[in-house]
Structure 1
Amino acid sequence: MVAVTLYLAVAVVTLLVIYIKYFGRKRKEGEPPIVPGHFLFGNGKAFSQNAVEFIHKSTARFGKVFTIRLLNQHVTIINDPHSYEQVCKERNFDFDAIQKQVNNNVFSFKLHDSKKMIKEASKKVKGQYLYANMQSFAHHLQEAFDASTESTPAENGWCKDRLRAMSSKTMFRAIFRTIFGKEKPDDVFEPMTVYKNFDLFHKYFNFLWLGLPIKLFPKACRALEMLVQMPTSNDIINRDDVSDYIRYSTQFMKAHGQTEADIIGHNLVFLHVNYNTFRVSYWLIYYLTQHPEAIEALVAEIDDTVRVKSETCDDESDIELSIQDLDRLPVLNSILNETIRYTSGVLMVRAITEDTAFTMEDGSVHNLRAGDRVAMYPPAIHNDPEVFENPEEFKYDRFIDAKFYKDEKEIRNPLLAFGSLCPGKRLAMTQAKWFIFNLAHQFDFQTEEGQTCCPDVKYYGHEILPPTNDVDVLYRRRENRRRIEFVHDRFVTFHCVLVEVNPYRNLQSYVL
């Protein structure tokens, strides 16, 4: 009996020591306030139920800077859009540890010499490679549009499908083939199979990122078993149309002795990043169908652009469109920005590498601990009524010639949906613009009357939120529509004559 009591006492003391070490926190002088939470789970439940509401309430109670706990991880939230640049420039706030956490916890691999590989590979989605990626994407998207209309039954000219199915058959398929090249007929690793399993696996991303073992989620395990059945690295890099990013990163990893499993894990990380562009396309279609004035303004802008372009080329040629042309369209850009504002759930998080006296934009100083995390949560800003009037409403023209303010001071970066270190931001935004431009140019589309959905706030933390439910979509070809061809910004061909276009003339600036 005495021995049992002794063992229990030792166990209690051990558990208490573990709790204090990994979960307990006593605020030190100069540190941000600590938001009270569950003794074991911390603030995880409140954050997962509705992160924006939780952060707004915490800000009202504790101020712009406060510390929360998600399981055993302490995260200091900086809810101040004016301090965005200070957060990005702070050397002690490191993203490398975060990407390693994602790689290890979610996709079970470690990247050798990660900073060098990411630095070099990231160049393959920018500059001249941006145009190569876009030409590939434009080709695959047109193929996907054609295949979707041919394979979907039509009634009175209207094709009917679920919106997730329609957007996956078009946008996801185009993105997938732009990354990995076109699959062979008998490949298991093909767009629709990958989409179905990746969509399921992605639901558990937040749990896995925090360190919960994947075995706790049988559905995620089964989905991952399918996702890892991709061709060998040699098979993929020998495809003529594989992206330069995948080719370079695969060759780099092979040269550094990484396994096939490591390469598969890395490829899934890259697919995860691009998956958010697919989700944006879903919401673009949905909100356009819910707001007739938005689609009317967009179609008018597109038709006007095509009319002007058609005046400079012969009747048989495709209409040539560049990134610069897309950037000049205020309605298109505003609709995209408003869609991202309305549906983003991204958590911009960094690891604190050293004890840091962090200075905010207003001059206030907060002591942050090494080993903790620091984060900004853009959706809390996107849903702040002081910044965006009536933030719960979707306003397609919100970003046209608009400025936004907080505390009576203009915000330099009101739309923080991609984070400061996203090398593929330009490509993702251009793909989304190209998708909706071509969809609205080639098709009439509408959702089934009476069917609605909204972003699922349970998934705050995902870059783009999934819908609470799916809806039916109807679409049909518009008559007498000329095809759109993607061309390089600098050179546009008219009647087979090469004309140099000044890339800076009349260039409008938009918040992206």
Structure 2
Amino acid sequence: MSAVLLLLLGLVSLLLLVLRRSSRTRRDGEPPLIKGWIPVVGKALEFGQNSFKFLLEHQKKHGDIFTVQIAGKYMTFILNPLLFPNIVKDGRHLDFHEFSYKVGSHAFGYPLMKPKEFPGLQEQVSRSFLLLQGDSLSPLTESMLGNLQLVLRQDFLGQRPGEECDWKSHSIYKFCNSVMFEATLLTMYGRPPAASRHSGMDVIMENFVKYDTKFPLLVAQIPLWLLGQTKAIREELTRVFLPQKMTRWSNASQFIRKRLEIFDQFDMLRDLDKAAHNFGILWASAANTVPATFWALYHLVTHPEVAEVVRQELLDVLSQSGVEFSSDRDVTLTREQLDKLVYLDSAVKESLRLSSASMNVRVAMDDFSLRLEGERSVAVRKGDVVTLFPQITHMDPEIYEEPETYRFDRFVQDGKEKKNFYKDGRKLKYYLMPFGSGSSKCPGRYFAVYEIKQFLCLVLLHLDLQLEEGQGGAALDPGRAGLGILWPSADVRFRYRLRAVPPGPTAQ
């Protein structure tokens, strides 16, 4: 049989498979089924243009539960937050890890952690994430604070406080990215030998942004060879974290040191594989934290009265600890002090509520009946993706009054964190979900929130901030819906200068 004939038979078989998958019809007990007219693609184009609008429109037509064909997958969306607990706690029929492992392998280029080939690797890697929580958070946040101040002082605070006409102009996103990205890298991976900062950081950040813009396509399993220079850019970023380089760095986090120890146990892992895993952690550490920091700072800059409330709260907490802030000395901010900043915490939560568009996904391991409430249930097929889309909850006017309006104190009640939010008169367990839920909840969420708060505290302590005139407000770019925090559709310019703060005693 000729090669051409074999190829034709293969194409015919593939076409038949596509048509069979596209010919799916709704069975009794299943949610409403929404398919597009393009085989396999389904509603992917409409969903990708504006997922929030797409889901909201179909929610009005079909209710809180429906299945959509998107890029070869059938995704059952559950949009009522009162039903979320049933999905989150179902670990028997619904799995997240296999999906995440496949996405990670395709996106970063390391081999799948198959138990037969790498016995115990998945379990050890999962346990290593505990080093981002609990008691391990204190040294991690302390290191981050020092690195934030290092980058800020060398790049942005090199002028005398209180001088006239010393306003400087910058873009908010670039400002946040340049500080947060490098400080995060230094905190997680350490410093190069005989230097406090890594060389070539501008190139690393530029390549990271280029790679990150293609990440939605990588998650969709688009072949790398179709994405232009993405493969070359990924390889260049991966080589930054080759083990022979990292062993010369100092002050790496306990989390990264532990992962290096784990990978060294497996001879089948190449150095490039180990480096790819480390690059994956950099993406997880920065890809959502940077835009989250942008939105938090953007809202403070555009609401100077809020910035002043948060700044005064911070100064009061420092004063209560016997610390008088001095602009010419590094400040110490403990986790305990940060936890007392209830208005800062609320402001960060509110910016996350407005900018988060994550998807919580679970893959059905078999055909089963998903119990929802009481006797209510829906049929789910093996291989379907059960999906929670919290942005619908975050923008629900029944849960959040005037949900499109930024209210910095929305999560404060009687001077403490507000946790009581309701739907249909019932208290919600899941009302704010920027970091996922259950088994898919981001293990680094505590550190992410602390580093955002640290950054905002330092900026408010050191700088006066003003929005530049003659520009519109920042809008959400829906292109990254499903991956976490949305980017702004365009950057926003602001002015800053050092605040006139009299020198005080050394911060303790």
Alignment partners' CA distance in 2, 1:152 and 1:461: 41
Equivalences for 1:243-282 in 2 at 5 Å?
243-257=253-267, 258-275=269-286, 276-282=288-294
Matched with 2:136 is 129
Matched with 1:498 is none
Matched with 2:28 is 29
Matched with 1:100 is 101
Matched with 1:226 is 236
Stretch moving more, 35-44 or 206-215: 35-44
Matched with 2:50 is 50
- Per-residue Cα deviation, 1:102-134 (whole angstroms, up to 9, x for no partner): 122211212344431232211211122111111
Alignment partners' CA distance in 2, 1:65 and 1:25: 18
Question: Does structure 1 retain, via aligned residues, the 8 Å contact 2:157–2:498?
Answer: no
Alignment partners' CA distance in 1, 2:284 and 2:504: 29
* Residue 472, structure 1, aligned to residue 493, structure 2: yes
Matched with 1:80 is 80
Alignment partners' CA distance in 1, 2:387 and 2:421: 22
* Residue 445, structure 1, aligned to residue 456, structure 2: no
- The one of 267, 285, 299 equivalent to 2:311 is 299
Deviation at 1:378, TM superposition (A): 1.1
Alignment partners' CA distance in 2, 1:208 and 1:59: 28
Matched with 1:506 is none
Deviation at 1:316, TM superposition (A): 11
Question: Does structure 2 retain, via aligned residues, the 8 Å contact 1:438–1:484?
Answer: no
Alignment partners' CA distance in 2, 1:190 and 1:483: 36
Change (3 A) 1:16 1:259: closer
Alignment partners' CA distance in 2, 1:357 and 1:484: 65
Question: Does structure 2 retain, via aligned residues, the 8 Å contact 1:181–1:243?
Answer: yes
Change (3 A) 1:76 1:282: same
Alignment partners' CA distance in 2, 1:81 and 1:385: 13
Matched with 1:3 is none
Give the secondary structure class of the aligned counterpart of 2:387: strand
Deviation at 1:343, TM superposition (A): 0.7
Matched with 1:413 is 430
Partner amino acid, structure 2, of 1:31: E
Alignment partners' CA distance in 2, 1:427 and 1:398: 22
Alignment partners' CA distance in 1, 2:123 and 2:9: 47
Deviation at 1:424, TM superposition (A): 1.1
Root-mean-square deviation (CA), in Å?
3.1
Alignment partners' CA distance in 2, 1:167 and 1:378: 25
Change (3 A) 1:477 1:84: same
Could you tell me which runs of 5 or more consecutive residues in structure 1 were left unpaired when the two chains were aligned: 1-5, 487-493, 495-512
Deviation at 1:182, TM superposition (A): 1.7
- The one of 154, 168, 172 equivalent to 1:159 is 168
* Residue 356, structure 1, aligned to residue 368, structure 2: yes
Alignment partners' CA distance in 2, 1:128 and 1:484: 29
Alignment partners' CA distance in 1, 2:247 and 2:407: 44
Matched with 2:446 is 426
Change (3 A) 1:409 1:483: farther
Equivalences for 1:338-417 in 2 at 5 Å?
338-361=350-373, 363-401=375-413, 402=418, 403-417=420-434
Question: Does structure 2 retain, via aligned residues, the 8 Å contact 1:86–1:360?
Answer: yes
Stretch moving more, 132-141 or 113-122: 113-122
Deviation at 1:22, TM superposition (A): 3.7
Deviation at 1:458, TM superposition (A): 2.1
Between the two proteins, the alignment pairs up a number of residues equal to 482
* Residue 89, structure 1, aligned to residue 89, structure 2: yes
Stretch moving more, 142-151 or 266-275: 142-151
Change (3 A) 1:155 1:99: farther
Partner amino acid, structure 2, of 1:30: G
Equivalences for 1:159-178 in 2 at 5 Å?
159-178=168-187
Stretch moving more, 234-243 or 465-474: 234-243
Give the secondary structure class of the aligned counterpart of 1:306: helix
Alignment partners' CA distance in 1, 2:462 and 2:353: 26
* Residue 202, structure 1, aligned to residue 215, structure 2: no
Partner amino acid, structure 1, of 2:218: L
- The one of 145, 154, 162 equivalent to 2:152 is 145
Deviation at 1:83, TM superposition (A): 2.3
Alignment partners' CA distance in 2, 1:192 and 1:313: 31
Stretch moving more, 106-115 or 121-130: 106-115
Percent of pairs with identical residues: 26
Change (3 A) 1:485 1:19: farther
* Residue 181, structure 1, aligned to residue 190, structure 2: yes
Deviation at 1:9, TM superposition (A): 11
Give the secondary structure class of the aligned counterpart of 2:464: strand
Alignment partners' CA distance in 2, 1:266 and 1:233: 11
Could you tell me which runs of 5 or more consecutive residues in structure 2 were left unpaired when the two chains were aligned: none
Change (3 A) 1:14 1:155: farther
Deviation at 1:27, TM superposition (A): 1.6
| TM-score, length-scaled by structure 2 | 0.87
Question: Does structure 1 retain, via aligned residues, the 8 Å contact 2:239–2:272?
Answer: no
